Every structure is written in structure tokens, then in C-alpha cells.
Structure 1
Amino acid sequence: MKYQINSSETSFHRAITNEQLHQIIEAITNGRYSWACVLILRFVGHNPLHFIPQRTYSRLIKENRQTPNISVQNSSDIQ
């Protein structure tokens, strides 16, 4: 299988920032390789849905959504 890149596609207009690279490396070191691929595609300006199924993408987004930690106190904890 051959893949030919057009000359206009060879120059990336968006470079990956240090923070984005850190997110990719963190995903890889945590063993979340699919998520790292999604991040790479997003950061270089591609739509991940052009490369992976919607169902898989939705699952990855749901699993990797960063929610703020909210500490909830029980009324029994308050004395």
C-alpha cells in the first residue's frame, strides 16, 4: 500500500506545543496508546473520525474526559 502526500500537506501549519507533547507522552507511559493516537491526530489538525470509528472515538473521549475532583463530605463526617 502506497500513500502519497501532496506537497501542500507536507508542511504542517500547526506544530505540536510542549504541553501537547507532554499530554501525548503521558498517555503513552500510562499505556493508553489509542488515546495518544487521538491526541496526535487532533494536535496536528486532523479529525480523528476520519481514521477511527465513531463508537471507538466516543468511548475514548468518555474514558479520558478530565473531570474536576469534587470532594463531598457526608453529614456523618461533620460533628
Structure 2
Amino acid sequence: MNYQVSSSQTNFQNAITPEELNQIIETIADGKYSWACVLILRFIGYNPLHYIPQRTYSRLMKENSQFETAKTPQKIPVNMPSSVNNTSRVASSQIFSTN
């Protein structure tokens, strides 16, 4: 079985800033593996709702909203589309707003 990765997907290591990487590592160290997956998807520009159920995402957001605001107050999710079948990518600037 052959699998080809497009060049846009192979350069994602440049998309995650050192601060974001540290936040992901801290989250993993705290044992919050599902939340770390959400953060990774967000930081590389994907909508987590395209990959996990909305109910799970809502629970994770509720559990980690205080944690996230304390760590990174500059990123707050705004109007995440809930359509799982929507294949169009939303730019990260449309997903997050700054305070």
C-alpha cells in the first residue's frame, strides 16, 4: 500500500510556534490527551469538529475553558461550525479571535 503526503501537510512543523508546542507538551504531561489532540488540530489550522464528535468537543471545551484562558487568553474559539460533513477548511483566523 502506497501513501503519498502532500507537501502542504508535511510542513506543519513550522506552523506550531514554540509557545504552542510548550502548551501541547504541558497538556500531555497533565494527562489531558484528548485536549492535546484538540490543541494540535487547532494550532495547525484544522477545525477539531471535523475529526471528533461535537458532544466530545463540547465536553472538552467545558472542562478546559478555564485552563485555556489562564494559559492563553489571546485565543478564544468563536462560532465553530458544527457540520462534520463540511470538507472545506476554515482559516484559523476565522476560528479564533483575539482579545
TM-score by length of 2: 0.57
Partner of 1:51: 51
Partner of 1:76: none
Q: Deviations over 1:39-65 (max 9, x none)?
A: 000000000000000000000001001
Q: Deviations over 1:4-58 (max 9, x none)?
A: 544554444x610011001100110000000000000000000000000000000
Partner of 2:21: 21
Q: Which has the higher contact order (CA 8 A, sep 6+)?
A: 2
TM-score by length of 1: 0.70
Q: Which structure is higher in strand share?
A: 2
In the alignment of these two chains, the number of paired residues is 68
How far has the Cα of 1:3 moved from its partner? Answer: 6.2
Distance 1:35 1:3, change over 3 A: farther
Secondary structure in 2 aligned to 1:31? Answer: coil
| Partner Cα separation in structure 2 for residue 23 and residue 53 of structure 1 | 23
Amino acid at match of 2:31: G
| Partner Cα separation in structure 2 for residue 3 and residue 64 of structure 1 | 35
Partner of 1:74: none
Question: Radius of gyration: which is bigger?
Answer: 1
| Partner Cα separation in structure 1 for residue 2 and residue 58 of structure 2 | 29
Where has structure 1 moved over 2 Å in runs of 4 or more? 1-12
